[in-house]
């Protein structure tokens, strides 16, 4: 299997495009106002309830200036219930492309895609949902996040260029660093938060695996109806 081995990266990366999709809205106002203060041209791509929350935080004028629905950006509407929102080739080009890879840059140009420089994502509350008294296995299954871990892992893998944010308590520190450095973030910070993102997704998957390991196949089978089966 061929892999890309990178020898050149930027120590400092300007934040021009951010992707924000969070279930936990804590400190979202700090992040939103901080990002918009960094650059008049900065774009925030967002989805569903996060888009609505950001629009309210920023107000009509700033929202028109900075805020873009992911579905408008990709040209693909969200699937009912938000099941598929961000799993899109154009999004992952923006997350994974390398600055000094000419082929990657041609791919971005071909789709009029932008490099995504910052990803703020936190995950569906699987542990809270699955541990609630009376919670069913189906309620637990429905709260398994797919797009969130994918985005966080992609951003963390490409810390060469992308800043992953999975903890709302880090927003204020990041905003201060951006303001102090002309809207740029350094590779040490990107790497430190990449480590945190991978630890976060690993713990999330571990919680899911442990929950499923504690259920029997018979217990799961009994949850559902099977309309395709003969009477």
2 occurs within a structural domain = no
Domain count, the chain: 1
Q: What is the side-by-side order of every strand in the sheet holding 67-69?
A: 67-69, 43-46, 17-22, 118-122, 163-165
DSSP code of 168?
G
At residue 89's C-alpha, the angle toward residues 193 and 28, to 5°, is 40
> In this structure, what CATH number is given to the domain that contains residue 70?
3.40.50.1380
108 occurs within a structural domain = yes
Residue 222 has what pLDDT? 95
6 occurs within a structural domain = no
75 occurs within a structural domain = yes
β-pairing, 184-186 vs 163-165, is: unpaired
Contact 11, 189 (CB under 8 A): no
Q: Which of 9, 8, 15, 13 is nearest to 32 (CA)?
A: 15
Contact 89, 154 (CB under 8 A): no
SS3 content of the chain, % helix, strand, coil (to 5): 55, 10, 35
Tokens of 224: 């559902």
Which residue range forms the structural domain that includes residue 41?
Answer: 12-217
Q: Is the dihedral of CA 205, 160, 82, 111 positive or negative?
A: negative
49 occurs within a structural domain = yes
Q: Which of 111, 118, 76 is nearest to 95 (CA)?
A: 118
Element (H, E) at 81: none
3 occurs within a structural domain = no
63 occurs within a structural domain = yes
Digitized pLDDT (tens) for each residue of the chain, 231 residues in all: 778 899 999 999 999 999 999 999 999 999 999 999 999 999 999 998 999 999 999 999 999 999 999 999 998 877 666 666 788 999 999 999 999 999 999 999 999 999 999 999 999 899 999 999 999 999 999 999 999 999 999 999 999 999 999 999 999 999 999 999 999 999 999 999 999 999 999 999 999 999 999 999 999 999 999 998 776
5 occurs within a structural domain = no
Number of H helices, E strands in the chain: 11, 7
């Amino acid at each position: 299997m061929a892999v890309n081995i990178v020898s050149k990266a930027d120590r400092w990366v300007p934040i021009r495009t951010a992707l924000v999709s969070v279930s936990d809205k804590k400190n979202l106002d700090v992040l939103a106002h901080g990002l918009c203060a960094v650059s008049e041209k900065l774009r925030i791509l967002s989805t569903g309830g996060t888009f609505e929350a950001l629009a309210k935080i920023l107000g009509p004028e700033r929202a028109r200036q900075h805020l873009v629905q992911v579905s408008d950006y990709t040209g693909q509407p969200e699937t009912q219930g938000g099941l598929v929102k961000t799993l899109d080739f154009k999004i992952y080009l923006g997350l994974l492309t390398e600055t000094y890879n000419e082929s990657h840059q041609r791919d971005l140009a071909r789709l009029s895609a932008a490099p995504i420089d910052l990803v703020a994502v936190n995950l569906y509350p699987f542990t809270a949902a699955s541990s609630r008294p009376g919670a069913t296995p189906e309620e637990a299954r429905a709260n398994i996040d797919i797009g969130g871990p994918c985005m966080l892992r992609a951003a963390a893998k490409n810390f060469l260029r992308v800043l992953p944010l999975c903890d709302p308590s880090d927003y204020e520190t990041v905003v201060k660093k951006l303001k102090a450095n002309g809207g740029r973030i350094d590779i040490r910070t990107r790497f430190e938060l990449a480590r945190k993102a991978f630890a976060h997704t690993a713990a999330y998957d571990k919680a899911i695996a442990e929950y499923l390991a504690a259920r029997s196949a018979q217990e799961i089978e009994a949850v559902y109806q099977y309309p395709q089966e003969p009477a």
